Amino acid sequence: MRWYRMFGAEAVPRGRPLTLRDAAAIPFVLLKAERERWALWLPVFLGAGIAVYFALPSEPPIEAGFTLLSICAVALVWAWWRRADAWSALFALPAAAAIGLIIAGWSTARAEAPVLAGERVLSGVSGRVVAVEPFADGARVRLENLAVPGWWRNGALPEAIRIKLRRDDPAPIIGQRIQVTARVSPPPRPSFPGAYDFARSAWFDRLGGVGFAFSHWRLVRSDASISPADQILAAIERFRADLSTRLRTARPDVSGHVLAALLTGDRSGVPEPVLEDLRRSGLAHLLAISGLHIGMVAAIVFVTMRTCLALSESWARDRPIKKWAAAAALIASFAYLILSGATIPTQRAFLMTGIVLIAVLTDRLAISMRLVAVAAGAVLILAPESIVGPSFQLSFAAVIALVAVYEQYRLWAGRIDTDGPHGKTVRYLAAVCLTTVIAGVATAPFAIYHFGQVAHYSVLANLVAVPIVTFVVMPLGLLSLALMPIGLEAIPAMGAGWGIDAVLWIAEQVADLPGSVAQIPAMPEWGLALVAVGGLWCAIWQRAWRFCGLPVLIAGILSPYWMAAPIAILHEDGEQAAIVWRDGLWLESSRKERFAQNVWSEKTAYPVLGDWQDLAKTPDAPIRCDPLGCALALRLTNGKTVTLSFVSDPRALREDCALSTLVRAPVVAHPSLCVEVQVVNPADLKRNGTYAVYAGRDGLRLVTVEERRGERPWTRAR
């Protein structure tokens, strides 16, 4: 069979050679043959409009979205009047993109709240505690309804700030009003061009500043009345905090903290080495409450409820016990949603699970791509900003891939002999392994983009750990919650802790295997777009032409290897920098900006090897240092040598400007000192953020954080 018959057999009658007219008709024939899949592209274009909004360097005029929507609406009316279904589908796609653009702009405007313009000490700031995150080195609290003495002189007061309390202070209770003296700054911008922008997340969270406390907090009287809704939210948060405390008391070790994370979403007590082992082994998703956990709760309640109801023969024969079990599972899933904090990822997981359970209640196919499309559309409409976050991308990538495989090969289940316990066990293990492989492959490009690493042995770890969590940890954990009212939660918590200990041991062993994690250079935005387009093309269409998306998908996966690594990085504080030499990062000072060091290593895929002083001692080192600063000499691919000078003392500026290609100056240099040389001074760093220096064809190319961020509402605080 020739390729054109495989892709468009309906367009070319058998026995007739392919003509140019036949080739032009093949796409239309294939589109008509997959008419039932057209609607699945509506949430895709809705998300594309939202993604374009966040990718723009400046805020688009809202009139542009309404103009495009109006044109598409007129075209849709014309297509409906002419009864042209194909044209209706064609015009509906840009209309969905225009709606996405409008929704994203409206959501951004709705989230607008005052943001601190700069770092300042707030003496005696008081606020109502609405969230508490306990850590070993002090609790972190979110304060709302703020009051600061004398603030009327300084403009609008932020709606909320987040403060890290002192180590020796007890955690306050949600709903209390406390007063403290703290140093608060605007939400930080990225530490590397293109890295995660916390300021954007803080904008949609209406968070106006973050900082740490100087003084001990004290309880103050609240004169403002609290709304019933806020009182309910505070009661729920106190209930969650009490559950976490009781779980840690029932199992006072690391497993107790992990059990609290699994059941209430409170991961603050899990030690960092344990988190690192989970990341390196590919098991970190077990602590992030998502579809896996919501699905476990729903499945446990559904199976238990249906089994108990089936004990009555008359009920099993005459009553819709399957629907009753689905309703109970839906209620339990909602309760778990509230218990876990109702974060956006958990809301999305509940929405997906709820759709499946509602499908059972209405006698519809429980899992289909159409239901995934409905869930994705609902999430994008309710929280359009989630599309740029890793949670949305990772979860829907896994779900779409799994459903696509399920749709293609669901008939295989009836052809496999599963008689006997051995056959069912083998089939279950094969299903776990296949599911892990599919989900791992589907989420790998997005993990590379956001985290810059891939766990090689995640299939091995999940094959062993997921059954333990499914059949041991979660059932006993839920039983522990059920027995809390009578004070017997410690008994099932002990068994759940043994299962968690086994999972943590597996994570540690897998993480210690050689080559457990691969560091990958940062994927560019256009590479991620190619992955999304190619992957969706393969998943949505059902005929052979879906494989046309594979080249696009592969090009996106390989895009990190087409990106050049920087030769130097200049931190925005002017006292930290890094250079790339022999597949490693060498820092100006390894004691400063630890968080930025981790981000730089993640985005460049190079490990931190040491300080410049260590590098200067090695043979043929490209850097030389003296009390006045350091200089780096590199030869570019075109044979030209460039010199980067990192000046510590202003007295060296005249000499370094005369001999260098790029100078990081400690002060704003006089124009007569540095005439034909690129200079980055403290004012530039404060205004533009961290610099990444690349070797260009004709010289050095500088990319800054603010250049990549653009001029958006969440970037204007500075």
Instruction: Kindly write down the DSSP assignment for every residue of 217-269, as one continuous string.
Output: -EE----SPPPHHHHHHHHHHHHHHHHHHHHHHHS-SHHHHHHHHHHH---TT
pLDDT tens sequence across 275-309: 888 888 888 878 776 666 787 788 888 888 888 88
pLDDT tens sequence across 324-351: 898 998 898 888 888 777 766 677 778 7
CA angle, corner 676, sides to 674 and 679, nearest 5? 50
User: Rounded to an integer, what distance in angstroms lies between the CA atom of residue 323 and that of residue 9?
Assistant: 43
Clarify whether residues 625 and 707 are in a common domain.
Answer: yes
Per-residue pLDDT, 16? 58
424, pLDDT greater than 70: no
CA angle, corner 648, sides to 644 and 653, nearest 5? 65
- Provide mean pLDDT across the span 378-394: 88
Q: Please tell me which of 12-21, 104-113, 394-403, 587-596 the model is most confident about, judged by mean pLDDT.
A: 104-113
The pLDDT-based confidence of 3 (bands split at 50, 70, 90) is: very low
The pLDDT-based confidence of 417 (bands split at 50, 70, 90) is: very low
Per-residue pLDDT, 153? 61
Per-residue pLDDT, 414? 47
Clarify whether residues 576 and 555 are in a common domain.
Answer: no
Residue 357 lies in a domain: no
Clarify whether residues 704 and 620 are in a common domain.
Answer: yes
User: Rounded to an integer, what distance in angstroms lies between the CA atom of residue 397 and that of residue 532?
Assistant: 9
What total number of domains does the chain contain? 5
255, pLDDT greater than 80: yes
- Provide mean pLDDT across the span 701-709: 92
Residue 329 lies in a domain: no
Last residue of a domain, one of 51, 80, 110: 110
Per-residue pLDDT, 1? 42
pLDDT tens sequence across 136-192: 778 899 999 898 887 766 678 899 999 999 988 888 888 889 999 999 999 999 999
691, pLDDT greater than 90: yes
301's tokens: 């309640």
The pLDDT-based confidence of 384 (bands split at 50, 70, 90) is: very high
Of 412-426, 525-539, 622-636, minimum mean pLDDT range: 412-426
Clarify whether residues 597 and 645 are in a common domain.
Answer: yes
Per-residue pLDDT, 6? 47
- The more confidently predicted of residues 401 and 292 is 401
The pLDDT-based confidence of 260 (bands split at 50, 70, 90) is: confident
Residue 645 lies in a domain: yes
- Provide mean pLDDT across the span 314-319: 82
The pLDDT-based confidence of 370 (bands split at 50, 70, 90) is: confident
Last residue of a domain, one of 81, 110, 139: 110
The pLDDT-based confidence of 699 (bands split at 50, 70, 90) is: confident
CA angle, corner 382, sides to 380 and 387, nearest 5? 35
Residue 80 lies in a domain: yes
- Provide mean pLDDT across the span 360-381: 81
Residue 605 lies in a domain: yes
Clarify whether residues 94 and 193 are in a common domain.
Answer: no
- Provide mean pLDDT across the span 619-646: 84
User: Rounded to an integer, what distance in angstroms lies between the CA atom of residue 337 and that of residue 348?
Assistant: 10
Residue 190 lies in a domain: yes
Clarify whether residues 66 and 163 are in a common domain.
Answer: no
User: Rounded to an integer, what distance in angstroms lies between the CA atom of residue 383 and that of residue 103?
Assistant: 9
Question: How crowded is the C-beta side of 266, counted as CA atoms within 13 Å?
Answer: 28
Clarify whether residues 157 and 222 are in a common domain.
Answer: yes
pTM, rounded to two decimals: 0.85
Residue 696 lies in a domain: yes
- Provide mean pLDDT across the span 214-223: 85
Clarify whether residues 704 and 582 are in a common domain.
Answer: yes
Per-residue pLDDT, 668? 86
Residue 694: which H helix or E strand, with range? strand 691-695
Residue 631 lies in a domain: yes
Per-residue pLDDT, 625? 86
Q: Please state whether beta strands 177-185 and 218-219 pair in parallel, antiparallel, or not at all (unpaired).
A: antiparallel
Q: 8: domain range?
A: 1-28
Clarify whether residues 173 and 203 are in a common domain.
Answer: yes
Amino acid at 489: E
pLDDT tens sequence across 6-64: 454 555 555 556 666 666 666 777 777 788 888 899 999 999 999 999 999 999 988 88
Clarify whether residues 627 and 601 are in a common domain.
Answer: yes
Last residue of a domain, one of 195, 226, 257: 226
Chain mean pLDDT for the chain: 84
C-alpha pair distances (Å), 688 with each of 15, 60, 702: 66, 22, 11
E-strand stretches of 24-171? 120-133, 140-147, 160-164
User: Using CA of residue 304, residue 307, residue 311, residue 316, what is the dihedral sign?
Assistant: positive
Per-residue pLDDT, 290? 65
CATH, residue 132: 2.40.50
- Cβ within 8 Å of residue 603, ≥6 positions away: 192, 194, 195, 452, 521, 522
211, pLDDT greater than 90: yes
Tallying the residues shown for the chain, one arrives at: 718
- Provide mean pLDDT across the span 225-244: 77
Per-residue pLDDT, 367? 67
Q: What is the 3-state secondary structure (H, E, C) of 447-502?
A: HHHHHCEEECCHHHHHHHHHHHHHHHHHHHHHHHHHHHHHCCCHHHHHHHHHHHHH
Per-residue pLDDT, 95? 92
Percent of the chain with pLDDT over 90: 25
Clarify whether residues 90 and 205 are in a common domain.
Answer: no
Instruction: Give first-to-last CA distance, the chain, whole Å.
Output: 63
- Cβ within 8 Å of residue 624, ≥6 positions away: 616, 630, 631
Clarify whether residues 572 and 676 are in a common domain.
Answer: yes
440, pLDDT greater than 90: no
